[in-house]
Amino acid sequence: MLTENTPVHAFIDALPKVELHVHLVGSASVPTVLELSNRHPDGGVPTGEAELDAFYTFRNFADFARVYLAVSDLVRTPEDVATLVLGAARDLAAQNVRYFELTVTPYSHQRVGMPMPAVTEALDDAARRARAEHGVRLAYIFDIPAEFGADAARGTLEHAVRHPPEALVGFGIGGMEEVRPAHRDAFRDAFAAARAAGLRSLPHGGEMTGPETIWECLDHYGAERIGHGINCLADPELVAVLRDRQIPLEVCPTSNVRTGQVPDLASHPLPRLLEEGLFVTLNSDDPPMFDTTLTGEYRVAADVFGLGVDDLAGLARNAVTASCLDAADRKAILDEIDTVTAP
């Protein structure tokens, strides 16, 4: 129960949470990355902690994408995949996360020669162990790395349709947004096929490009949520559509600063997104790479943007409502949030 003298940070710690936007490779802890880099010193990733910290200082999104791909290429066996899933589950469970949706880029694993069935088996086993060992439930989103074009669209779709893990719920696209027009038809076709197979459309959009990418997600991918979406504010018509349809935005403030999409946290558009009545959720994206956590993002919302406990609880409820959980599981977590916020 919340009491009047409970500091906002203690409230955040106690708040049951749902994470909707976190990447498998981007969730790898520093010790895990160092273990992998020392195991595969040919990968170009530093093998010492200080050097890795410097490696994680990004000039822009293209620089971040280069680093991300280098770390991803260290993940070379299904056992490595399972280790990352369980690490994410451990770290999120420690933050009072009840459920998370983990974005996996299976094409990256195909590129290093991992068989699709073996990756799926690792994902299935890790999801079961995450619940048994850490008490947290997870689901998977398969996303296309856009910079690899039509081949990545086909490979991601093939894995999602022919070898889906049991907990696969969604289909997305990430990476460099500016390359999408060159592969427009392949990406549209992949989303159409994934949706026909029963997967939710959960693409990134409007992070490093403008409203046109969000419109593409809505009009041609059938998007049910938008990853990031912060640049919607440049288009009042788009803002009105997002508000009227209550399309959830998966907002990741620290990520946007670390990849150079906004200059600093004080300049982040989160307050305006809320003022516009948009459906906002808070997320961590690639937490160790950005030196953040989901709890840290809630603290940013409180400390930088001045959100109080009611606003923070509202953001937590939004994440539950926007999730792919069924109605009964959503209600269970919402009831927990109500208990924590009750006077």
For residue 54, is it within any domain? no
User: Looking at residue 321, what DSSP letter applies?
Assistant: H
For residue 47, is it within any domain? no
The mean pLDDT of 191-210, rounded to a whole number, is 98
Residue 141 three-state SS: strand
Longest dimension (CA), the chain: 56
pLDDT of residue 221 exceeding 80 = yes
User: Which single residue is written with the structure tokens 């990741």?
Assistant: 252
What's the burial of 335, exposed, middle or buried (CB within 10 Å: 0-12/13-18/19+)?
exposed
Given pLDDT bands bounded at 50, 70 and 90, which one contains residue 43?
Answer: confident
Structure tokens at 327: 């109605």
pLDDT in the model for residue 57: 87
For residue 67, is it within any domain? no
For residue 65, is it within any domain? no
The mean pLDDT of 47-71, rounded to a whole number, is 88
Catalytic residue among 177, 207, 297, 336: 207
Active-site annotation holds for 207: yes
Across the chain, what does the average pLDDT equal?
Answer: 95
Q: How many domains does the chain have?
A: 1
Q: Using an 8 Å Cβ cutoff, are 20 and 323 in contact?
A: yes
Contacts of 306 (CB under 8 A, 6+ apart): none
Give the integer Cα–Cα distance in Å for 97 and 294.
9
pLDDT in the model for residue 2: 44
Q: Using an 8 Å Cβ cutoff, are 18 and 320 in contact?
A: yes
Instruction: Give 243-280 pLDDT, tens digit per residue.
Output: 999 999 999 999 999 999 999 999 999 999 999 999 99
pLDDT in the model for residue 96: 97
The sign of the CA dihedral 186, 190, 196, 201 is: negative
CA angle 115, 124, 34 (to 5 degrees): 70
pLDDT in the model for residue 1: 38
For residue 49, is it within any domain? no
For residue 61, is it within any domain? no
- Between the alpha carbon of residue 196 and those of residues 185, 222, 301, the distances in Å are 16, 11, 37
Instruction: Give 86-126 pLDDT, tens digit per residue.
Output: 999 999 999 999 999 999 999 999 999 999 999 999 999 99
Q: Partners of 55 in the beta sheet?
A: none
Given pLDDT bands bounded at 50, 70 and 90, which one contains residue 139?
Answer: very high
Residue type, 70: A
Give the integer Cα–Cα distance in Å for 298 and 301.
5
Instruction: Catalogue the E-assigned strands of 206-315.
Output: 226-228, 249-251, 280-282
Residue 69 three-state SS: helix
User: Looking at residue 199, what DSSP letter applies?
Assistant: -
Higher pLDDT, 53 or 128: 128
Burial 277-300 (b: 16+ CB within 10 A, else e): ebbbbbbbbbbbbbebbbbbbbbb
Q: In the chain, helix, strand, coil percent, each to 5? A: 60, 15, 30
For residue 175, is it within any domain? yes
Q: Using an 8 Å Cβ cutoff, are 320 and 96 in contact?
A: no
Contacts of 184 (CB under 8 A, 6+ apart): 216, 220
Given pLDDT bands bounded at 50, 70 and 90, which one contains residue 6?
Answer: low
Phi-psi category of 142—alpha, beta or left, where left has phi over 0 and alpha has psi -120 to 50? Answer: beta
End-to-end CA distance of the chain: 7
pLDDT in the model for residue 4: 45
User: Which single residue is written with the structure tokens 């808070």?
Assistant: 282
CATH of the domain at 136: 3.20.20.140
For residue 63, is it within any domain? no
User: Which single residue is written with the structure tokens 């589950």?
Assistant: 89
Domain, as residue range, for 195: 8-32+76-341
Helix (H) or strand (E) holding 35: helix 30-39
How many whole angstroms from its chain centre is CA 157? 19
